[in-house]
């Protein structure tokens, strides 16, 4: 029996599970990369089109940061315990690394610096001048801890279920925010960098690439220390600013390229 609509909120997902008992099941829990309204472009929607015989529980919320993630955890725990997913797909950290939280760890070049106890390795000069390294390190730890809580739910109910996390991609601090008709939101990145005295476009790219690389490094370490975790590393997939609709969201074609190039190979054989 054909499934038909397969990207569903919880009430419809529950009905579909009862109707299609043999269908694969996936939980998509995360931020705007999993729910980018109102456009049918985000990763969750792209993957639902690619895996037509999988039921996707849609749990993405645009702008979801760490606080919003934590409020959703009791519901996510119930879902994991109830539905026994074939895969759990997570998208989190972006809003805490290159979203509005950037204001918490950006600085001017003449403000003091403390690297903390993090294994940064070589630090580009623009990063040393403009990122509060110790504060950013704490943001990374909080982001990984959010993922860890979902993994612990998985371990409790279904240790063999694969959990997928991802690295996003290298953004372009373009100064373009989210737009929907007359609604226009301020950009997430460039205004903070400009205000801190980093106005050079090349320097802004160096800094934001470094932030994404550090997030990916922490993800990679976390994944390497636990069973049945998969890192989808999509850095470098989008190679031009034209593939981005705004500072932190790809165009429809950009999302499709990341889904097809980076996610689909990792999910093939797990989802259908």
Task: For residue 182, tell me if it sits in a domain.
Answer: yes
Rounded Cα gap, residues 38 and 40, in angstroms: 7
User: Average pLDDT, stretch 56-78?
Assistant: 94
CATH number of domain containing 34? 3.40.50.1110
- Written as six digits, the tokens of 50 are 């690619």
Task: For residue 213, tell me if it sits in a domain.
Answer: yes
Task: For residue 2, tell me if it sits in a domain.
Answer: no
Strand partners, 131: 106
State how many domains the chain has. Answer: 1
**Where in the sequence is the domain holding 124, given as residue range(s)?**
7-267
Q: What is the pLDDT of residue 1?
A: 55
Task: For residue 272, tell me if it sits in a domain.
Answer: no
pLDDT digits (tens, 9 = 90+) for 177-235: 887 777 778 899 999 999 999 999 999 999 999 999 999 999 999 999 999 999 999 99
Q: What angle do CA 67, 56, 246 make, to 5 degrees?
A: 55
């Amino acid at each position: 029996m054909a499934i038909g609509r397969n990207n569903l909120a919880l009430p419809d997902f529950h009905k579909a599970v009862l109707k299609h008992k043999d269908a694969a099941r996936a939980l998509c829990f995360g931020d705007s990369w999993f729910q980018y309204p109102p456009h049918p472009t985000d990763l969750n929607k792209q993957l639902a089109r690619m895996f037509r015989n999988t039921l996707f529980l849609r749990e993405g919320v645009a702008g979801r940061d760490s606080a919003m993630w934590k409020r959703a955890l009791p519901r996510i725990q119930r879902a994991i315990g109830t539905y026994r997913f074939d895969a759990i797909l997570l998208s989190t950290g972006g809003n805490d690394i290159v979203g509005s939280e950037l204001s918490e760890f950006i600085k001017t070049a003449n403000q003091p610096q403390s690297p903390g106890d993090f294994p940064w390795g070589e630090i580009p000069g623009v990063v040393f001048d403009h990122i509060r390294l110790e504060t950013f390190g704490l943001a990374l730890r909080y982001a990984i801890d959010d993922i860890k809580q979902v993994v612990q739910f998985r371990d409790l109910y279904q240790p063999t279920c694969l959990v997928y996390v991802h690295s996003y991609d290298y953004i372009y601090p373009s100064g373009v925010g989210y737009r929907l008709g007359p609604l226009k939101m301020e950009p997430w990145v460039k205004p903070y960098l400009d205000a801190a005295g980093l106005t050079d476009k090349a320097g802004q790219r160096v800094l934001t690439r470094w932030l994404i690389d550090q997030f990916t490094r922490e993800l990679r370490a976390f994944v390497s220390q636990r069973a049945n975790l998969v890192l989808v590393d999509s850095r470098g997939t989008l190679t031009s600013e034209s593939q981005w609709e705004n500072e932190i969201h790809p165009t429809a074609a950009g999302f499709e390229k990341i889904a097809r190039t980076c996610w689909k190979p990792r999910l093939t054989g797990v989802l259908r």
